[in-house]
A and B are shown apart, each in its own frame.
Chain A
Amino acid sequence: EPEVTQTPSHQVTQMGQEVILRCVPISNHLYFYWYRQILGQKVEFLVSFYNNEISEKSEIFDDQFSVERPDGSNFTLKIRSTKLEDSAMYFCASSPGTAAGQRVTEAFFGQGTRLTVV
């Protein structure tokens, strides 16, 4: 069964360093997303990406964040200068877009990358 894969599963970084979280969405999906979950809290939307550009972003997704689809398979989230409060589980998700002319909105999530900023 196709799945969203994320690497690494756990990343530890020093405050102020740049990190890149990587995701390989399901191959025929068109919409890509990043969400984050601070430990013990709810899952929050960061950004969605369609047709090689950001389609929506939340207030959390400020200038220190960026996303990129550098090739046909990877979808990355870059945090330029990490802060302690960026410590969280980051989930990548993808959805098909449309099927038989109808919008399909299931978002299939990867297993997450746990980012720890020290």
Chain B
Amino acid sequence: AQKVTQAQTEISVVEKEDVTLDCVYETRDTTYYLFWYKQPPSGELVFLIRRNSFDEQNEISGRYSWNFQKSTSSFNFTITASQVVDSAVYFCALRGNTPLVFGKGTRLSVIA
């Protein structure tokens, strides 16, 4: 069975702090994809990144970076120099041979 665990339910940080959102997954599939989505207060789901299971290279996109560690089944997301606009619920998701399985999400509040 596929499972995604986001142990942090809520995180609050002060603007300009760095913050890391944790994601741990379980799957028996050898080929799978990991995703992060952002859900701002307006409710839509915004695609942030996809990684496949064969590519453990870390990725950086502006203030966002992702650390994929297959050995620990983790796909953590770091926001550097957080901003108020980063306040949202962030979902990690997994796709193996089944449709997307989402974690419960981490609510990030960035305080000015």
Q: A residues bordering B, Cβ < 8 Å?
A: 33, 35, 41-45, 48, 56, 58, 89, 91, 105-112, 114
Assess the A42–B103 pair: CB atoms within 8 A: yes
Instruction: Tell whether B64 is near chain A: CB-to-CB under 8 Å.
Output: no
- Residues 4-48 of B, flagged 1 when their CB comes within 8 A of A and 0 if not, give 000000000000000000000000000001010100001111110
What residue in chain A is nearest B50 (Cβ atoms)?
Answer: A106
Assess the A45–B44 pair: CB atoms within 8 A: no
Q: B residues bordering A, Cβ < 8 Å?
A: 33, 35, 37, 42-47, 50, 91, 93, 95, 98-105
Tell me the complex Cα distance, A19–B98, Å. Answer: 27
Tell me the complex Cα distance, A42–B46, Å. Answer: 15
Question: Could you say which residues of chain B place their CB within 8 Å of the CB of A108?
Answer: 47
Assess the B101–A89 pair: CB atoms within 8 A: no
Assess the A41–B104 pair: CB atoms within 8 A: yes
Question: Could you say which residues of chain B place their CB within 8 Å of the CB of A33?
Answer: 99-100
Assess the A112–B91 pair: CB atoms within 8 A: no
Question: Could you say which residues of chain B place their CB within 8 Å of the CB of A107?
Answer: 35, 47, 100
Assess the B45–A48 pair: CB atoms within 8 A: no
Tell me the complex Cα distance, A42–B103, Å. Answer: 6
Given contacts A45-B99, A107-B100, 20 further A-B contacts (CB under 8 A): A33-B100, A35-B100, A42-B102, A42-B103, A43-B45, A43-B93, A43-B102, A45-B98, A45-B101, A56-B99, A89-B43, A105-B33, A105-B50, A105-B95, A107-B47, A108-B47, A109-B44, A111-B42, A111-B43, A112-B44
Tell me the complex Cα distance, A107–B47, Å. Answer: 8
- Given A41-B104, A42-B102, A105-B95, do A114 and B44 touch, yes or no (CB 8 Å)? no
Partner of A48, one of B35, B46, B99: B99
Question: Could you say which residues of chain A place their CB within 8 Å of the CB of B42?
Answer: 111
Assess the A111–B102 pair: CB atoms within 8 A: no
Tell me the complex Cα distance, A48–B101, Å. Answer: 13
Assess the B100–A114 pair: CB atoms within 8 A: no
Question: Could you say which residues of chain B place their CB within 8 Å of the CB of A91?
Answer: 45
Assess the A42–B43 pair: CB atoms within 8 A: no
